[in-house]
Amino acid sequence: MSAPDGHDRVGEILGAWALDACGPEENRLVAAHLAECGPCADEARLLGAAAAEFTESTESATGSPAQGAQAPPVLPASPSPAVTAGPQPHRLPPPRLRATVLAAAFARRRPDIPAAVAPYAAQVRALDRLLDALPPAGWQTRVAVRDWSVHDMLAHLAALDGVLAAHLGVAEAMLPPSTPDTSTLDGLAALQQRTAEVQAWSRGQQPARTRAAWRAQAAAMVAAVAAASADLLATRIDYGEARWRIDQVLLARAFETWIHTEDIRGALGMPAVPPAPEHIDQIVDAAMPILEGMMAASRFSHPDRAARIELYGVSGGEWTVRLGPGLPPATPDVTLRLDMLEFCYLFGGRRDPEGIRYDVSGDRRLAADLLTVAAGNPHD
Amino acid sequence: MGRVYDLYAGQVYALAARVTRDAAAAEDVTQEVFVHLWEHPTAFDPERGPLRGWLVMLAHRRAVDCVRREEARRRRDRISADYALALPDIADGAVTGVLGERVRAALSRLPDEQRATILLAYFEGMTYRETARTLGIPEGTAKSRMRLGMQRLAGLLRAEGIRP
């Protein structure tokens, strides 16, 4: 994504970047460029350090304690229009906050889970907790997907996790061995076949055994990623209809685990519980290239066109998505604004493109095609 | 951990309170910052600057995220011109309560138009696009004012013997 002229583009936004005044896409552009450009990295450090001085520095301001509440000397008023109205909270942290913060910190284990696998690990934990609360009869509850039971759904997740597990060197010890005749199948059919195999096996098992197999495999995958090199995570593997990097597939697994956990919650009449905002960010980052690939391969492909997708809500950001092969235009042909969770549910096949609320500026037809393709993500 | 909190919680909280204008959000940001430090002890790289600067940077980013989440919900109902009423000023008690004295002095030596973009971005949590809209200037102008202003500020602070 970073163009050869990235240096100039990054240079001109470095001031804004140091003030946290860029969008997420620009932040990524800057981060990528700083890793390879010494002069820009030096300037970024300098400007960032200056911004960090905006709060009172106990180290340089003599005798002024961090919580000094004395009135500051009045400066000559600047001619720029004053003055901020609106409620101002107290500037001192309430004393009780100290105990709250320390307790929250000590409650967390210092993790050894790398960021690449954190969303997946978190979704596995969330589903596992949900299954803890499931009464024995609950396993046969039908979910709104292909008339599967909760038990079938878990087998489906274990099956597709297993496709990735194999590439991480994790043996699917507790699950039925895969019949590896995938050479004649396209990627999607291979995934469906694996789901069918594991579901057939699981129906002859106690749900607790399926759950144990799923959980053991997930834990082994997380451990394998923690021990893996960056090279391994960047390796491309066949997954579904295309080849993706392992770290992208890990996020696809996190996404699918999340969506199916919501399916199960829905079947049990429980409200949705979205992932942490930073995990949704990672998931959406991984989803956008997949969406580009889907657009390029679809009959709604629009060569040389691009869309900007602005998401807001639990978290947010802006992404530019090419709508087909060829060169994307300098400015997107259309901008869509929609709720980030709604976008995720759409991409997970849990919303109709016609029913989704969004704002659009630019070419409406492109926006409608993009949402149609996004909702068509082949997804059980 | 308790010691780090005692040293820096005041600054982290004050900044978060200024940017979010919401005591509960400021508490959340403060908690996130210190829990993040606890959970990611290796993310702080002493080679690249003091702990204080790192915590402040983290607090600012979280506070800005918080403001933008709020903003995203409200933006459609709100005309951006409203921002024009809320231009911060370095004489504003809320800003000066956060700014260190020497930094305030350095800021007051910047050209007004550079200072305005910096204060809007940093203390109102605006993006450069929002800053440009608020001030009625092109985005490119906002970007370049921010960069020139920050470069100049860094130079002034260095002349004052402050780290950058």
Query: What's the pLDDT tens digit per position in A52-61?
Result: 888 765 443 3
Q: How far off is chain B from A23, nearest CA to CA, in Å?
A: 7
Cβ contacts (< 8 Å) between B145 and chain A: which residues? 15
Q: How far off is chain A from B149, nearest CA to CA, in Å?
A: 8
Instruction: Return the higher-pLDDT residue of B123 and A85.
Output: B123
Q: How far off is chain A from B8, nearest CA to CA, in Å?
A: 7
CB A64 to CB B154 under 8 A? Answer: no
pLDDT for the residue A183: 52
pLDDT for the residue B104: 83
- For residue range A224-242, what is the model confidence (pLDDT) as tens digits? 888 888 888 899 998 877 7
What is the CA angle B74-B78-B82, rounded to 5?
125
Written as six digits, the tokens of B4 are 């780090």
Q: Does pTM top 0.80 for this prediction? A: no
pLDDT for the residue A362: 94
User: Nearest by CB to A105, which of B38, B118, B164?
Assistant: B38
Q: Compute the average pLDDT of residues A180-199.
A: 77
- For residue range A36-55, what is the model confidence (pLDDT) as tens digits? 788 898 899 899 989 988 87
Confidence of residue B80 (pLDDT cuts 50, 70, 90): very low
Angle between helices B101-108 and B112-124 (to 10 degrees): 140
Instruction: Return the higher-pLDDT residue of A289 and B76.
Output: A289
User: Nearest by CB to B143, which of A12, A50, A73?
Assistant: A12
Q: Compute the average pLDDT of residues A208-220.
A: 89
Residue A137: count other Cβ atoms within 10 Å of its Cβ: 7
A359 and chain B in contact, CB less than 8 A: yes
Cβ contacts (< 8 Å) between B27 and chain A: which residues? 93-94, 97, 100
Helix (H), strand (E) at residue A321: strand A317-322
Pairing mode of beta strands A306-312, A334-339: parallel
Whether A16 contacts B142, CB under 8 Å: yes
Distance CA A210, CA A203 (A): 9
pLDDT for the residue A372: 94
Residue A193: count other Cβ atoms within 10 Å of its Cβ: 16
Residue A375 to residues A272, A363, B13, Cα–Cα distance (Å): 19, 19, 42
Helix (H), strand (E) at residue A336: strand A334-339
Chain A, residues 87-106, CB within 8 A of chain B, namely 87-94, 97-98, 100-102, 104-106
Evaluate the CA torsion angle A56, A62, A65, A69 in order and state its sign: negative
Distance CA B115, CA A144 (A): 56
The average confidence (pLDDT) of chain A is 83
pLDDT for the residue B1: 75
Written as six digits, the tokens of A96 are 């009780």
Assess whether pLDDT exceeds 80 at residue A71.
Answer: no
- Provide, rounded to the nearest whole percent, the portion of chain A with pLDDT above 90: 46
Q: Give me the amino acid identity at A69.
A: A
Whether B6 contacts A75, CB under 8 Å: no
Residue with tokens 């901008």: A335
Cβ contacts (< 8 Å) between A318 and chain B: which residues? none
Distance CA A378, CA A321 (A): 19
Assess whether pLDDT exceeds 90 at residue A199.
Answer: yes
For chain B, domains (ranges, CATH) are 2-70 (1.10.1740.10), 95-159 (1.10.10.10)
A108 and chain B in contact, CB less than 8 A: yes
Whether B157 contacts A24, CB under 8 Å: no
Give the CA radius of gyration of chain A. 25
End-to-end CA distance of chain B: 26
- For residue range B100-140, what is the model confidence (pLDDT) as tens digits? 778 888 888 999 999 999 999 998 899 999 999 999 999 99
Q: How far off is chain B from A157, nearest CA to CA, in Å?
A: 29
Distance CA B160, CA A68 (A): 22
Q: Compute the average pLDDT of residues A149-171.
A: 92
CB A77 to CB B149 under 8 A? Answer: no
pLDDT for the residue A61: 33
Helix (H), strand (E) at residue A128: helix A118-132
Q: In terms of C-beta distances under 8 Å and separation of at least 24 residues, what long-range contacts does A363-369 make, across chains too? A: A363/A305, A363/A333, A363/A334, A364/A334, A366/A302, A366/A305, A366/A307, A366/A323, A366/A333, A366/A334, A367/A307, A367/A334, A367/A336, A369/A300, A369/A302, A369/A323
Assess whether pLDDT exceeds 80 at residue A279.
Answer: yes
Cβ contacts (< 8 Å) between B147 and chain A: which residues? 11-16, 47
pLDDT for the residue A133: 81
Confidence of residue A62 (pLDDT cuts 50, 70, 90): very low
CB A19 to CB B99 under 8 A? Answer: no
User: Nearest by CB to A102, which of B5, B8, B18?
Assistant: B5
ipTM of the complex: 0.88
Evaluate the CA torsion angle A138, A142, A143, A147 in order and state its sign: positive
Residue A331 CB-density burial (10 A; 0-12 exposed, 13-18 middle, 19+ buried): exposed
Across chain A, how many H-helices and E-strands are there? Answer: 13, 6
Residue A138 CB-density burial (10 A; 0-12 exposed, 13-18 middle, 19+ buried): middle
Pairing mode of beta strands A317-322, A306-312: antiparallel
